[in-house]
Structure 1
Amino acid sequence: MAGGNAIRGSRVGAGPMGEAERGDSAPRVHISYWCSNGHETRPSFAEEPGMVLPETWDCPRCGFPAGQDKENPPAPPKVEPYKTHLAYVKERRSDADGAAILDEALSTLRERGLIQ
């Protein structure tokens, strides 16, 4: 395709100058965080007077929380397994209670003539 438009595929502000055209970036500080799997994460933060660093940071490799103390990283969150509705009912009622409720429901259905 001969000819064509010279600015096709370009956008305003995208030039070869890059950061030098936009000015200096803020001074950065890199802080190390460690998770319970021993992964180190080093996010960078803008260095400001009175800045408050987060106590924990999510590990990008495993997703566990990471802390600044390498020897005592935060414990991974406890994940509860999925429970069905029946599992919750069994926590609240004993087998004898369940049998009594079932007998009552069956007798009601027999009185109505819905089952034999």
Structure 2
Amino acid sequence: MAGGNAIRGTRVGAGPMGESERGESAPRRRISYWCANGHESRPSFAVEAEIPEMWDCPRCGFPAGRNEERPPDPPRTEPYKTHLAYVKERRSEADGRAILDEALSRLRQQRGR
């Protein structure tokens, strides 16, 4: 067993910090938000602060609103798309073939064919 008179878990100059050292805290109010899963979260805001309409639920991450009866819809998750899928959204099959033919003809000219 280690001996000595060291105080464990503290550091030099550490002491209780109360409102006398920090100053008085601003008056607060708690606002309820509900998500689509029925979770209620109650963050606190300063009385003079602007209250946001939406808040992220700390339990599930869905958006939460202030109306318990009609919470915001959960975000839609779209399936993963490949680069080719995004290209096909922007270009038609004929456009793709024309671009490919143009690129191939340029390559053939560079190679001296």
TM-score (norm 2): 0.66
Which consecutive unaligned segments of at least 5 residues does structure 2 have?
A: none
Supply the AA of the counterpart residue of 2:5: G
Going from structure 1 to structure 2, the CA distance change for 1:3 and 1:73 (only over 3 Å counts) comes to: same
- What CA distance in whole angstroms lies between the structure 2 residues aligned with 1:27 and 1:104? 69
What's the counterpart of residue 44 of structure 1? 44
Write the distance in 2 (CA, Å) between the matches of 1:83 and 1:44: 40
Are 1:76 and 2:74 matched, yes or no? yes
Residues 15-94 of structure 1: pairs in structure 2 closer than 5 A: 28-46=28-46, 48=47, 50-94=48-92
Separation of aligned partners in 2, 1:20 and 1:85: 57
Aligned to 1:4: 5
Query: Kindly tell me: are residues 24 and 113 of structure 1, through their superposed partners in 2, closer, same or farther at Cα, counting changes over 3 Å?
Result: closer
Q: CA deviation at 1:21?
A: 7.4
Structural RMSD (CA):
3.2
Q: Work out the percentage of aligned pairs sharing the same amino acid.
A: 68
Give deviations 1:69-107, integer Å, cap 9, x for gaps. Answer: 101112233445444332232122211222233233334
Structure 1 residue 2: deviation in Å?
1.8
Structure 2 Cα separation of the partners of residues 99 and 20 of structure 1: 72
Look up the match of 2:95. Answer: 97
One-letter amino acid matched to 2:96: G
